[in-house]
Amino acid sequence: MRNFVNRRSQELKPSGIRKFFDIVSEMKDAISLGVGEPDFITPWHIRNAAIKSIQRGYTQYTGNRGLPALRELIARYMSERFSVEYPAENIIVTVGASEGIDLVMRAVCDAGDEILVPDPSYVSYAPCVLLAGGVPVRVPCSQENAFILTPEALEKAITPRTKAIILPYPNNPTGGIMTKEQLEAVAPVFEKHDLLVVSDEIYAELTYGGKHVSVASLAGMRERTVVINGFSKAFAMTGWRIGFVCAPPELDKALFKIHQYAIMCAPSASQYAAVEALKDGFGDNFAVVESMREEYDRRRRFITNFFNETGLACFEPRGAFYVYPSTASLGMTGEEFANGLLRAEKVAVVPGDAFGEAGKYHVRCSYATSMANLDTATSRIAEYVKKCKG
């Protein structure tokens, strides 16, 4: 029999650290700092809104783009919170931000088109580019530069085939953000090479010491930017699979066609939950989001301080809920450190190179876990580091 799997799927690399993850999953007494989602549960009023929508029988397909009321709220939300102006007609409600990434790549890539992907960054970008027929090109980011994109690094990576860049800030795994000034420094490069900017802003609500700035809010950038965002991280709604894309009209038309044919619409109950999240948020200036953000911020200070005191240099993350300390001072790769730590002290962290080559001497630690867990985990890490230093 033939192998029915097409070449693209065959060539997709399976996650290199599957085995490590399996060990963690089975080690029930291990403390995991490897979780990539909020430890908060979706606020009760949001859960209740979805339950009520089901009880009332709102269980049909919604319009392909999503509920008009939800899109109006999203347009207002993006405008009031991030000064990003896209009309509700150019917003598509998606099955998580993940669908947004896939949609954009499928709508944008012609065979051989190069898409810039910062390194390190979220693991799904490159595979989505590959599946769409594009070529992912890594742009290395370094701890010395707080993991931002610089005009120099961009210029080095850009070729005549470069079509778009993924701008993943606030960043998973580094916690890095890009300030208005830093964005203004790279925007001319995007314009000069006529690039589409795919701005994944799923962590936009989780920034510390300053509000998130969307590249789409810079003068002249909205027309060449597609903003991907969602409810998972801001409202602790990961399992609901609900996100959205805001795109300039031409691209929006293409995204809509693909979404329409492939997905139909996002789940209705999740859309009603999202309506409640935003409506309630406008009522009290997003107090629910703010209280979660404040709690993350405390943990962030605690764990960043811990790593720096322990001698694992850790730049101060200003976004998301991850720290990305360096294991270089121990002469160990992130993978060696993660394996050793798990075996010796039963604490799970993610080897940094899971997110790209540039993370080889780093580990990602999530602080989306209770202070009590962080407390125990950090004492155990301290023990392990002491042993490594011998």
Partner 1 sequence: MKKLESDILGILQEDCRYSPAKIAVMLDKTEKEVADAIASMQARGVIVKYTAIVNDERLSDDIVQALIEVKVSPQKTSGFDAIAEEVYRFEEVKSCYLMRGGYDLAVFIEGKNLREVARFVAERLSTLDEVQSTATHFILKKYKIEGTITDTEDDNRIRISVHA
The footprint of partner 1 (CB under 8 A) covers: 15, 17, 21, 24-25, 30, 32, 34-37, 39, 41, 122-124, 173, 238, 298-299, 301-302, 305, 348, 350, 354-355, 364, 371-372
Shortest distance in whole angstroms from residue 156 CB to partner 1: 27
Tell me the C-alpha distance between 253 and 126, whole Å: 24
Classify residue 7 by burial, with Cβ atoms within 10 Å: 0-12, 13-18, 19+.
exposed
Shortest distance in whole angstroms from residue 260 CB to partner 1: 26
- Closer of 34 and 319 to partner 1 (Cβ): 34
Shortest distance in whole angstroms from residue 298 CB to partner 1: 4
Contacts of 148 (CB under 8 A, 6+ apart): 141, 169, 176, 177, 178, 182
- Closer of 24 and 178 to partner 1 (Cβ): 24
**Cβ neighbours around 296 below 10 Å, total:** 19
Element holding 24 (H helix, E strand):
helix 18-26
Shortest distance in whole angstroms from residue 340 CB to partner 1: 16
Shortest distance in whole angstroms from residue 47 CB to partner 1: 13
- Burial string for 79-91 (b: 16+ CB within 10 Å, else e) reads eebbebebebebb
Question: Angle formed by the axes of helices 249-262 and 96-108, to 10°?
Answer: 110
- Closer of 77 and 296 to partner 1 (Cβ): 296
Strand partners of residue 137: 116
DSSP conformation letters of 234-278: TTT-GGG--EEEE--HHHHHHHHHHHHHHTSS--HHHHHHHHHHH
Shortest distance in whole angstroms from residue 92 CB to partner 1: 21
- Closer of 114 and 345 to partner 1 (Cβ): 345
Classify residue 74 by burial, with Cβ atoms within 10 Å: 0-12, 13-18, 19+.
buried
Question: Is the N-terminal amide bond of 170 cis, ω within 30° of 0?
Answer: yes
Tell me the C-alpha distance between 306 and 328, whole Å: 16
Shortest distance in whole angstroms from residue 219 CB to partner 1: 34
- Closer of 252 and 295 to partner 1 (Cβ): 295
- Closer of 32 and 326 to partner 1 (Cβ): 32
- Closer of 8 and 301 to partner 1 (Cβ): 301
- Closer of 36 and 66 to partner 1 (Cβ): 36
- Closer of 36 and 170 to partner 1 (Cβ): 36
Alpha helices by DSSP H, 162-313: 180-192, 249-262, 268-283, 287-310
Shortest distance in whole angstroms from residue 363 CB to partner 1: 12
Distance of CA 21 to the CA centre of its chain: 20
Report whether 356 contacts 24 (CB < 8 A): no
Shortest distance in whole angstroms from residue 209 CB to partner 1: 9
